[in-house]
Amino acid sequence: MDFKKNPRTDFKDIAKLSKEQTRQEIDALREGIEYHDYLYYVKDQPAISDETYDKLFRRLQDLEQAFPEFASADSPTQRVAGAPAARLEKVRHTASMLSLNSVYSEKEVEDFVRMVSREARSERLEYTAEPKFDGLSVEVVYEKGTFARGTTRGDGETGEDISHNIKVLRAVPLRLRNGKQDIPPFLAVRGEIFMRKNEFQKLNKARIEKGEEPFANPRNAAAGTVRQLDPGKVAATALDIVFYDILEIRGRSFASDWEMLQQFPKWGLCTDPHNRKCSSLEQIKQYHAAMSRERDKLDYEIDGVVIKLDNYALRAKVGMRQRSPRWALAWKFEPKRDITTLKDIVVQVGRTGVLTPVALLEPVNVGGVTVSRATLHNAGEVRRKDIRIGDTVRVERAGDVIPEVIARIDQPGQRRGKPFSMPRHCPVCGTQVQEEGAYHYCPNSLSCRGQLVARIVHYASRDALDIAGLGHKTVQELVHREMVRSIADLYRLSVEDLEQVEGFAEKSARQLYEAIQRARKVRLDRFLYALGIHRVGQHAVQAVVRRFESVDALEKASLPDLEAVPELGSVTAQSLYDFFHQDQTRRALHQLYEVGVEVEPMAARRRPGPLEGKRFVFTGELEQYTRQEAQQLVAQRGGLTASTVSDQVDYVVVGRDPGRKLEEARTKNIRTVNEKTFQKLIGAPMRARAPVGSRR
């Protein structure tokens, strides 16, 4: 049977096949699938439909499952992602993976050609010219024609073993082609893994819509993907590869680079069709100019061309530097600046729930930084600038930091896309979006993944649950690894889970674990603040807990009940009411209670005292307390705090470098006290305040 030229799919029932028939069909299917992979990835000439290919592949899977004795490590089915790796092991390369000297001017290239001619003692030299891919360099090793391992470049001498991820790339043959007699017993080749532009835009769009940080450029996306521990995630992302060098070969030799590049496709190793042979400086210049014009039309990123002396014997004469060959260089393109194409507009959910339209761009250099996304601020700004998908736009870095689309560049005769409109539901969690002035926001603060990292950092902050060690970087990795998908998941983490986080050893993992466990029991005011309710800060929390002494009481409160709380205001009251009457909030709170979080009613901690009904304002920096700590101490003793000086204020507490509130207090004849007097009023002992940042 021949599944190469005759890929029929009218298969016999597996139960009716003999072992010999099964073996023959498996061999034929493997050969056929490898052949069609070769046509698709190496020759770029697919001969069958995706549907037919999928049927052949599924048939092979079914046969191998029914007859496991015919299993083979080099079968195409072995690309299917297996179990995640525990970690990436270090592997020494078969030979040094050298870097190249980079140049930008014609004069530097002319100097290079003169130097090579002088050292090679020849005026008539040939060069190999190739596009310089902006990807991730890897070593791929074949033993007896079968894939053995794949590693990242690392420091050039040692890289990380990513064999589990290399195997799932269909452009990497698991067996070399062209007959066993032609295949070397050992072959280590160098290639570049990259992500095509359209796949990069799709990936970034998906990441933003899931509330994840997008990648800066296709190279970072490829590098971040291929270093995943889970090959299933790599298989789900379209990565490609080209091969361009041999690091070590046994049992076979080549006289020139061009001869090697001609052999690669015969083995099933992809090369770039834009490779050229140049026999003069003028041809090198023409090639560079042609590829510079072509770069925007390509569906992958290149940032220059590589020029290499073709003849291997002459390379030995020209010699090496410590970290780079003298017989090769990278001639970089001038970076694309300022003006680019807007490929898509997606909506990102920020840490406070605000929805921001984000422009996904054709990568462009702005102020020395490659930019592939930029803020569009809000829907009104997009309408004002009349920016649409497919437009040519000018990009700047606001404050020399944040990329921003400044304006649309008119292109006469260009057919434009549809005007942009904000979604009615949160793109991450599906909650109905609310509008507030010029902004749209998602009110689902506890369960929306787009807000999750910032919400957990806030939940763990000093004025909330005070979980030492749970900073932004740690939370980001926990969420990225999907170890934490909700606040409640924090309490499900084990010491062993935390040891997997970068920078954590057994001791630090146990310390964080114990800090999280201590945070199972929390006072109501801290808990409410930790929930990060829209418009409800420390001041509003203290006003609320004086009237409602439990979460249950807040859940049962009507809007008029909340509006009756002094100092709360109708907008804040509405925000509180909406929060506690969302299904998502009820589910999130239920999850927290399920994992053992206990919220202590305020009545159990209340300390009535001489501050009952007294109102305080703070100005300047206190030595012993943060502003939030001082406000909490007042509230715990029945007092009130305010942010402005009015006739209702009883005390203005003055710290170091006070502001204009001190003058306002004197003008209104309101009593001012220093920190020492304040401590006497609240009945608290003097204590040494930890330096700022010492807890994190």
**Closest by CA position to 377, among listed 401, 351, 406:** 406
At how many degrees (to 10) do helices 452-459 and 472-480 cross?
Answer: 140
Collapsing DSSP to helix, strand or coil, 190 comes out as strand
Burial of 354 (0-12, 13-18, 19+ CB in 10 A): middle
3-state secondary structure 253-284: CCCEHHHHHHHHHHHCCCCCCCCEEECCHHHH
- Residue of 490, 694, 499 lying closest to 592 (CA atoms): 490
Q: How far apart are CA 235 and CA 372, in angstroms?
A: 24
CA neighbours within 13 Å on the CB side: how many for 576?
A: 30
Structure tokens at 372: 């592939």
Q: Do 281 and 109 form a contact (C-beta atoms < 8 A)?
A: yes
Strand bridging mode 90-92 / 640-641: unpaired
Query: Who contacts 630 (Cβ-Cβ below 8 Å, separation ≥6)?
Result: 618, 622, 653, 678
Q: How far is the CA of 644 from the CAs of 163, 179, 618, 676, in angstroms?
A: 63, 85, 9, 22
From the candidates 43, 132, 202, 308, give the one annotated as an active-site residue. 132
DSSP SS3 for 341: strand
Q: Report the alpha-carbon distance of residue 486 to residue 447 in Å, rounded.
A: 6
Give the CA distances from residue 362 to residues 66, 131, 339, 639, in Å, rounded to whole numbers and listed in that order: 48, 19, 9, 57
Helix or strand holding residue 471 (H, E): none
Q: And the tokens for 303?
A: 């940032």
Residue 403 burial (CB < 10 Å; 0-12/13-18/19+)?
buried
Active site residue 336: no
CB 113 within 8 A of CB 284: yes
Long-range contacts of 151-158 (CB under 8 A, 24+ apart): 151/91, 151/93, 152/226, 152/227, 153/97, 154/90, 154/93, 156/93, 156/96, 156/97, 156/98, 156/99, 156/323, 157/92, 157/93, 157/96, 157/97, 158/90, 158/91, 158/92, 158/93
Q: H/E element holding 340?
A: strand 339-349
Give the catalytic positions in this structure: 132
